[in-house]
Structure 1
């Protein structure tokens, strides 16, 4: 009976931690450039670098590029395309604003305006994988603890 109470306590602790962690890693929507939106920066691309430096991007988040259709675009490009404002190897282009782009995997992604990249309208974001790994590990621990409870309830001994 003591083992069952210990398992119950462990399940409750993990469930509370899971709920707390889940709310802290919930999906976020980032409006690129803040109130100014996706536009030609007055002071070069530093405005977008500075904006991104204040954010934590993670898999599952959305980037919202607010722009007027026909005046701007958003193209996802590799690093070389970002550095050289070249869209030859782009993976996708969004021509209708506002454009919402889901961050679906970890790593660095680069975005440029095909009209105004050389004027500094470009953004690079790096999505964290650590938060996602912790979330997955915590969920797996919860499942394992719950499975052990089921075995205990059936009279089976684990370990």
Structure 2
């Protein structure tokens, strides 16, 4: 009898999820720069953060983890990003291990607080997508090669579970048949 209740509960869950006709996405934490972390790029690899971000798809609820030494992370506006201006950051961090929650859709801009590092490519622009949102055209003045402006080769940043009303009805039918 206990097994029957479990089947009924699971079937009800699937039906509710199907009725919502939605997608459930797990949030993901990205380590900025992967194995190199957040540091001034080498002179022959100044596009490292552009390449890193274009291979990802960011969604509301995801987060970025910056790991660094003797440096900082500034969250800045678009103008400050393009001009490597560190005079008026939105947020400034220098703890060596900074986690930024991506809490809204849109563009996010980050630079190193060290002017020469930023000018040498230690800056990151990403586009965060909300639910059911497609990538937008780049903001005015954006270099098309800049980060996150086109979908990368990876279709999603997290685990995606999709269900439909048909699959929910099928699950209920199987459950009812198993209970008889």
Shorter-chain TM-score bucket reads: 0.5 to 0.7
Alignment of 1:113-124 (within 5 A): 113-115=112-114, 116-124=117-125
Alignment of 1:1-159 (within 5 A): 12-15=14-17, 21-22=23-24, 25-42=25-42, 43-68=44-69, 71-115=70-114, 116-131=117-132
Secondary structure, counterpart of 1:86 in structure 2: coil
The Cα of 1:89 is off from its aligned counterpart by: 2.7
Structure 1: give runs of 5+ residues left out of the alignment: 1-8, 133-159
1:56–1:121 CA distance, 2 compared to 1 (3 A): same
* TM-score for both structures, normalised by structure 2: 0.60
1:76–1:48 CA distance, 2 compared to 1 (3 A): same
The Cα of 1:120 is off from its aligned counterpart by: 1.0
Q: How many equivalent residue pairs? A: 122
* TM-score for both structures, normalised by structure 1: 0.68
Structure 2: give runs of 5+ residues left out of the alignment: 1-10, 134-180
1:44–1:118 CA distance, 2 compared to 1 (3 A): farther
1:44–1:86 CA distance, 2 compared to 1 (3 A): farther
Structure with the bigger percentage of helix: 1
Note the aligned Cα RMSD (angstroms): 2.9
Q: Which runs of 4+ in 1 moved over 6 A?
A: 17-20
